[in-house]
Structure 1
Amino acid sequence: MLFESFNGKDVNDNPAAIYRELVAEDPRYRTTAYFSVKPREYAALHAKYPEIQLIKRFTPKWVYLMARAEFWVLNSRLPNWWHANRRTTTIQTWHGTPLKKLGTDIDHVAIPGQTTARYHADFVTAANRWDYLIAPNQYSQEIFKRAFGYRGRFLSIGYPRNDVLYAADTPDQVAAVKQRLLPGVTGPVVTYAPTWRDDDAIRPGVYRFDLPFDLGEFFRHVSADTHLVIRPHYLVKDQVDIRGYEDRVTVLAETDIAELYLISNLLITDYSSVMFDYANLKRPQLFFAYDLAHYRDQLRGFYFDYTAQALPGPLVTQASSFYQQLDVWRDHGQFPDHVAAQEAFYHRFCDWEDGTASRRVARLIRTGKDEDDE
């Protein structure tokens, strides 16, 4: 069987969660399960995950294994020129609850050399080669069915990558992760995880990253022992400037984001799908959407009403309001005016999550049956 995450960029996300559950249940799968990775990432990933069989994408051995595999477990699309054989079962996990429009719901596709009509047609073609598609919630399932033109079978089970949020959310386990990622940090952890601005390029392939708040002012509105983690997109990780605050700010672009969720007392984001996964922990979130009008109206349309009423925490667009909300969190440990909204958000997007998604997919691979078949 072949696993692949984000077209071979890393060993992570839903495919990695399923792989680890599978080999934990039966270690013999270590010899027949492979992770497909980009050739340029192979050396680093091999050093990081020596226990996992890696295969370089699009090499002759990769072609041989893909052609003979009984299962493909993916979280994004393969090129449409690559077809599965009739004995291969494709499990598409996808990689997030959608806020921004997907697939055929995108009105205008701004990809060089690609027309909107061709993009839509290619997406539908790819989706209808999947035998199974994981949905994290009813909201996503309805969007996937329409936006992907998907007519296959859904696994309505929540996301495997979120299982750890239920399995490892004890004080001792969280403390161990915190000590490993942030040695010596004992106070609250705030994680800032913004989405990537794909129109903010310095030059092709190089993107700008500007913090929308002042670090000095930030720390004047939180407790003295608060530590800030910045989780940027990997394309801008080298553009983050924390000079003068190295002892109180850590940039973690490659760390498993589920581990950042576990150690975070507050998540600050904007339009990123991290809001949906983090909501499983029922911890406070703060939304700093400083470019809301531009992002919503010019870059990507939204699926749901991105307002303070729909979000699980305060929505601010100005730095002054951002600092005021930090004061509220510092004083109360939450946002009292948003408790009801946080609970409603949890029930809308996390009701299917219960920490068993990886186990259910592993069972499907081992037996050919999902629990819903019985």
Structure 2
Amino acid sequence: MNYLKHKIYGVLFKLFKNTNIKKNRVSFIIDSKESFKGNLSYIQKEFENRGNFEFHYFYKDKFSIDSFRKLSSSKFIFLNDNFFPLAFMEFNPESMVVQLWHAPGASKKFGGSVDIKSRAILEKISKNTDYLIVTSENIKDYYSEAFQIAFNKIKSLGLPRMDYYFENHDVDALKSEFLKRNGISSNKKIILYAPTFRNEEKYNNIFDYLDLEEFNENLGNDYILALRLHPKIKDFYKGNISANGQYIDVSDYENEQELMLMSDLLITDYSSIMIEYVALNKPVVFFTYDLDNYLSNERGFYYDFKKTVPGTIVYNSQELVEVIKNNKFDKSKISEFLKIQFDVIDGNSSKRVVDFLLK
């Protein structure tokens, strides 16, 4: 892989390596779409509670001399996603670079666990990273491999964005407003369907496998389907047919956590969204119409999928309808699954992270 542009980025950044550190400056590295901003927002709130801190958002896809200078002079620097130029950047030893990562737990293999060729640059990135924050002691080995990072840099302090669920949300009001806005009867339950992206094109055409007519004929009186597509699946998306009430397209709905909070049930396949969802103690159905192919040809999991996932696995549209219609939700594995994925879920993850860094 050609990392020339990342190296150039690093060379330019070195021009600012002697900038004096401002001990109250906190920088967040993010893209201009502000993807995966949740963790960063909660860390900012926590720092705001601690005193007079100054915040800077460093947009990694924009070039700004002033932004470079502020980043290089920051005491605390947070990431929430990959940033390959970090492999070639030189920070002041007083700066503290922290990778929060945007997802909880460990499910699908990623990073160096899958792409052997990327391990060299991941190791360089990790040498410039002071800490990687995870949700459980049990998954440190997986993250060490995925990020090619030293085990002692991994700290199990929780996912800051999970603090959202411990705030005072009026779930009934959120749900009522959502249904009203979409012209749906207020007595209907919401099914959130969040399929993940597949490398094999045909399996991304989800409506080749989910029979919407059968789904709504059997479940339409009680449920409305809210579809949240992975951004990459939109290339295979056959148009918005939500206007006739078959489903609501929530792919661009800004707050994914709000969707999880007000939905009654999650349908997914291999998406890590289920880790966060089962923490709410709600049922998940795994609609895995391509399971054999996915296990054989995609990146795999850190566990035995069939034995471990905390919900009912179905393989076709008929089975999916049957499970939901008859409330055949298997929640027996949720407790054990959560013990692996989280050390604690208490609404204090942001506090633990900031406490650790300030001390």
Task: Tell me whether the two structures share a fold, i.e. TM-score over 0.5.
Answer: yes
How far off is 1:248 after superposition? 5.2
Match of 2:80 in 1: 75
* Percent pairwise identity: 27
Q: What is the alpha-carbon distance in structure 2 between the residues aligned to residue 11 and residue 195 of structure 1? A: 16
**Structure 1 counterpart SS, 2:305:** coil
Q: What is the alpha-carbon distance in structure 2 between the residues aligned to residue 92 and residue 20 of structure 1? A: 17
Match of 1:33 in 2: 55
Asked if 1:314 corresponds to 2:305, the answer is: no
How far off is 1:208 after superposition? 5.6
Q: What is the alpha-carbon distance in structure 1 between the residues aligned to residue 321 and residue 108 of structure 2? A: 27
Counterparts of 1:333-344 in structure 2 under 5 Å?
335=329, 338-344=330-336
How far off is 1:188 after superposition? 0.9
**Structure 1 counterpart SS, 2:108:** coil
Match of 2:348 in 1: 356
Which runs of no fewer than 5 residues in structure 2 stay unpaired?
1-25
The partner residue of 1:90 within 97, 119, 123 is: 97
Match of 1:62 in 2: 67
Q: What is the alpha-carbon distance in structure 2 between the residues aligned to residue 258 and residue 198 of structure 1? A: 26
How far off is 1:218 after superposition? 1.3
Match of 1:112 in 2: none
Aligned length: 323
Q: What is the alpha-carbon distance in structure 2 between the residues aligned to residue 174 and residue 38 of structure 1? A: 35
Match of 2:276 in 1: 277
Q: What is the alpha-carbon distance in structure 1 between the residues aligned to residue 135 and residue 122 of structure 2? A: 20
Q: What is the alpha-carbon distance in structure 2 between the residues aligned to residue 304 and residue 298 of structure 1? A: 16
Asked if 1:266 corresponds to 2:265, the answer is: yes
Q: What is the alpha-carbon distance in structure 2 between the residues aligned to residue 155 and residue 272 of structure 1? A: 24
Q: What is the alpha-carbon distance in structure 1 between the residues aligned to residue 269 and residue 175 of structure 2? A: 24
Match of 1:140 in 2: 139
- Say whether the 8 Å CA contact 2:56–2:71 is kept in structure 1: no
- Say whether the 8 Å CA contact 2:29–2:60 is kept in structure 1: no
Match of 2:206 in 1: 210
- Say whether the 8 Å CA contact 2:266–2:285 is kept in structure 1: yes
Q: What is the alpha-carbon distance in structure 1 between the residues aligned to residue 195 and residue 242 of structure 2? A: 22
Q: What is the alpha-carbon distance in structure 2 between the residues aligned to residue 328 and residue 354 of structure 1? A: 33
| Aligned-partner residue type, residue 362 of structure 1 | V
Q: Identify if the C-alpha distance between structure 1 residues 237 and 19 changes in structure 2 by more than 3 Å, giving closer, same or farther.
A: farther
How far off is 1:70 after superposition? 1.0
Match of 2:163 in 1: 163
How far off is 1:161 after superposition? 1.1
- Say whether the 8 Å CA contact 1:11–1:35 is kept in structure 2: no
- Say whether the 8 Å CA contact 1:8–1:37 is kept in structure 2: no
Match of 1:194 in 2: 195
Asked if 1:102 corresponds to 2:94, the answer is: no
Which runs of no fewer than 5 residues in structure 1 stay unpaired?
40-56, 110-115, 202-206, 370-374
Superposition TM-score, scaled by structure 1 size: 0.78
| Aligned-partner residue type, residue 342 of structure 2 | C
**Structure 2 counterpart SS, 1:21:** helix
| Aligned-partner residue type, residue 111 of structure 2 | G
How far off is 1:145 after superposition? 2.1
* CA deviation vs aligned residue, 1:155-188 (integer Å, no higher than 9, x gap): 31221111112334x6xx1123324544355221
**Structure 1 counterpart SS, 2:180:** coil
How far off is 1:141 after superposition? 1.7
- Say whether the 8 Å CA contact 1:194–1:231 is kept in structure 2: yes
| Aligned-partner residue type, residue 133 of structure 2 | I
* CA deviation vs aligned residue, 1:245-277 (integer Å, no higher than 9, x gap): 543522222322111110110001011111111
Q: Identify if the C-alpha distance between structure 1 residues 72 and 198 changes in structure 2 by more than 3 Å, giving closer, same or farther.
A: farther
Q: What is the alpha-carbon distance in structure 1 between the residues aligned to residue 234 and residue 179 of structure 2? A: 18
